[in-house]
Amino acid sequence: MKHIFIYIVYAAAFALAGSAAYYSVFGLSKLFSAQAFAVIIMASTLEISKLITASYLHQYWKQIGILLKTYLVTAVLVLMLITSAGIYGFLVSAYQTTSDQLTVLDKQTAVVKLKNNRFREQLSLYQFEKEQLNQSILDLSKGLSNNVIQYKDKEGNIITTTSSLTRKALQSQLSDSKEQRNLSAIKIESLTDSITKLDLLVLDIESNNDASAELGPLRYISDISGYPMNVVVNWFILIFIFVFDPLAITLLIAAQIANKKTDMNKSESLNDPTQIIVDNDQEIELQDDWDNTLMDGLEDNLTQETLSATDIEWLQNAANQEKLNNRSHTKIIS
């Protein structure tokens, strides 16, 4: 399990380092777009050299001199700053692209809203005109109903009648007012439809745009914090790069430390004499079985063929010597 965890740490370290290198390389290539391919090659080489230098410093820290150590540490720190600058450039470029799209969207929305406000102003004027026409029509209608003339005839009787000229004038004005009111109503209805269409257009532009959806959380944070969205984005990018490449280097060194300690523990366990457990009785019993087997073989050979006395004596001495050697070896181990 310890080895598996070490491999996981290595995988995380290389994944972080690879991601940081990718974003840094392409971020630097955007900063120097005139020679983008050359910058990619240079930055990739520097990223690989940075990881190798950090590993070298960790493994041979006590063996290298102070000047070389100082230079390599400075080089690693500078390369980390370069990587962070590349990541910053990459993220700023990505945000700027989305921000430009959002700026265009805001301008389109502003134009539509401006036109909508003009229609609303015209609608207010026509509504006010319609109210005046309604009041004028009401007054003219009252005038027609009150168009009465009274006079005395020769006999002194009071005569009540209407003025035809006044009635014709009032009726003409009333007809004009009603016609103007109808035209105003048509214009009001048309303007109301136009305003509704523009409101729906603004809603469609704001809701169906990817840039608005991507920057929605940042815009919300900007609104509640009171800072411009560019400042909020800059904070997030700085926090992001602060833990990106330094964490990759730290994980790489941590994995090497863990691997080294695991190897040391394994070596100590192999060299520890207390770990060698030998059952003396069992070992002696095994040696006795082997000696019995050897003697049985000798007896079988004696029964199968005739050996000289010298050969028999030599074989017996060899068996006894082997037995003594095995017992001595068993005592040394125990």
**For the chain, what are the domain ranges?**
2-106+227-271, 114-225, 277-333
What six digits make up the tokens of 295? 């003697």
**Mean predicted lDDT score pLDDT of the chain:** 75
Contact between residue 95 and residue 233 where contact means Cβ atoms under 8 Å apart: yes
Q: Which of 114, 133, 290 is nearest to 202 (CA)?
A: 114
Contact between residue 102 and residue 215 where contact means Cβ atoms under 8 Å apart: yes
CA–centroid distance for 236 within its chain:
11
Q: What is the pTM of this model?
A: 0.54
* DSSP code of residue 227: S
Query: Is residue 213's pLDDT more than 70?
Result: no
Q: How far apart are CA 178 and CA 182, in angstroms?
A: 6
What six digits make up the tokens of 15? 């994944």
Residue 302 has a pLDDT of: 47
60 pLDDT band (50/70/90 cuts)? confident
Residue 67 has a pLDDT of: 92
What six digits make up the tokens of 64? 């290298």
pLDDT digits (tens, 9 = 90+) for 1-37: 567 888 888 888 888 888 888 888 887 877 777 777 8
280 pLDDT band (50/70/90 cuts)? very low
Query: Is residue 332's pLDDT more than 50?
Result: no
Q: How far apart are CA 283 and CA 285, in angstroms?
A: 5
Contact between residue 143 and residue 170 where contact means Cβ atoms under 8 Å apart: yes
| Helix, strand, or coil (residue 64) | coil
What are the residue ranges of helices labelled H in the chain?
Answer: 2-31, 36-59, 66-145, 164-207, 210-214, 216-225, 229-242, 245-271, 280-304, 309-333
Q: How far apart are CA 232 and CA 236, in angstroms?
A: 6
| CATH code 1.10.260.40 for 114-225 | no
CB atoms within 10 A of CB 309: 7
Residue 164 has a pLDDT of: 64
Residue 156 has a pLDDT of: 59
pLDDT digits (tens, 9 = 90+) for 84-133: 888 888 888 888 877 777 777 878 888 888 888 888 888 888 888 888 88
Contact between residue 107 and residue 44 where contact means Cβ atoms under 8 Å apart: no
